[in-house]
Amino acid sequence: MIDRNSWLLDADELPISLDKWQQNVGLIANLFHAPSVCIFQTNAQGSLVIESNRNESNPYQPGCFVPRDAELFSHVLAELKRELYVPDASADLRWLTHQEVAESGFVSYLGVPLRWPSGQLFGSLCILDRVPTDYRPQYFELLKTFRALIESDLSLMVQSQMLNQMTLTDELTGIYNRQGFRTLAEHKLSVAKRYGHTYGLIYFDLDNLHSINEQLGPDTGDNALQALAQAMSSELRDSDIAARIGSDEFAALVFVRQQEDMENLAIRIQRKLNLIKQQRDSMPPLTTSVGAKCYQANSDTNVDKMLEEVDRMVYNLKQKKRLATVGVDYSSHH
């Protein structure tokens, strides 16, 4: 999925092909007779070349990173938040010691900002030349036409991400659903196995949800489910994945060192759930049945196998609870 604060080239997959961007910058280079045409993505760290025309005289190839403190025309554009045209830097004292002028020999720069649909800056589309230029207004309009094509793709990326989020998240709790969990967890597993990380699966079953719904109404049941999702989200790290995978079942893929870490996490989540309950007078006592298992990086398993194993642990635990409990009356808590 696309994180607008991360580099586009680091995304797992994109709804568009960047080959089209590469073709566009190549066409611009031919039309402007320029040695360097680039699409930069810019953030607080610096600028990364996403696409550029591929020739030996262009120092900016895809994946080339320029730190934010480096002197870059595109960094000036990002600060100005508007188009920038420098026809002849060699004739302007402001640019004589500029890094791109002094080191790369670029004396002409024409760039336009690229924006996400929200208006947030994505980066820039720019043309650099080693000889002075005198671009006419129609050249500016031509570059803006190419900008519109790129920004249309950025809009498509955002729309696709929103659609994926609708498909992969649980509407009630806002965390991932079963499909979303499987999709993201498989990717996380492959990374964990590649780098030798220990990981674990923790499984929560909200006790007596059926009784809560019958005695206090479905709204209270929904509030209980949301409370458990909130408790999990507050205690998990950004690298972990939480999901509602059934009507009253929740799971989380977590990165830990040992089984004891899983048990401590389960305790913290139950404590957080108790705290949320205390803050809401109308909510009945909330308990969970928990299963957790730690896996080594070399474990021959997948998400479905892990869910099946830990689900069986929870099922056995709930059977023992049912034998010990005749019935629970929640009506006095309403």
Q: How far apart are CA 15 and CA 157, in angstroms?
A: 6
HSE on the CB side for 145, CA within 13 Å? 9
Record: fold of 178-333: Alpha-Beta Plaits (3.30.70)
| Residue 16, pLDDT above cutoff 90 | no
DSSP string, 89-112: GGG-GGGTT-HHHHTT---EEEEE
Q: What is the pLDDT of residues 42-57, one digit of tens each?
A: 999 999 999 999 988 9
Q: Which fold, 8-167? A: Beta-Lactamase (3.30.450)
Tell me 169's DSSP state: B
Asked which of 2-6, 9-13, 66-70 is least confident by mean pLDDT, the reply is: 2-6
Mean pLDDT within 295-300? 88
And the tokens for 228? 């458990």
pLDDT tens track for 107-137: 999 999 999 999 999 999 999 999 999 999 9
- Output the pLDDT for position 3: 64
Counting residues of the chain whose pLDDT is more than 70, the rounded percentage is: 95
**What is the pTM (predicted TM-score) of this model?**
0.56
DSSP secondary structure code for residue 252 in this structure:
E
Domain ranges, ordered by start, for the chain? 8-167, 178-333
Tens-place pLDDT, residues 275-284: 999 998 778 8
* 288-295 and 199-206 strand pairing: antiparallel
Q: Reduce the DSSP state of residue 129 to 3 states and report it.
A: strand
SS (H, E, C) 226-247: HHHHHHHHHHCCCCCEEEECCC
C-alpha separations of 209 from 90, 117, 171, 229, 235 in Å:
74, 42, 18, 14, 22
pLDDT tens, residue by residue, 239-255: 899 999 999 999 999 99
Mean pLDDT of the chain: 90
Helix (H, G, I), strand (E, B) or coil at 187: helix
Is the pLDDT at 1 greater than 90? The verdict is: no
User: Token pair 């808590």 is at which residue?
Assistant: 333
Q: What is the mean pLDDT of residues 74-89?
A: 96
5 or 185: which leads in pLDDT = 185
Q: Are 53 and 64 in contact (CB under 8 A)?
A: no
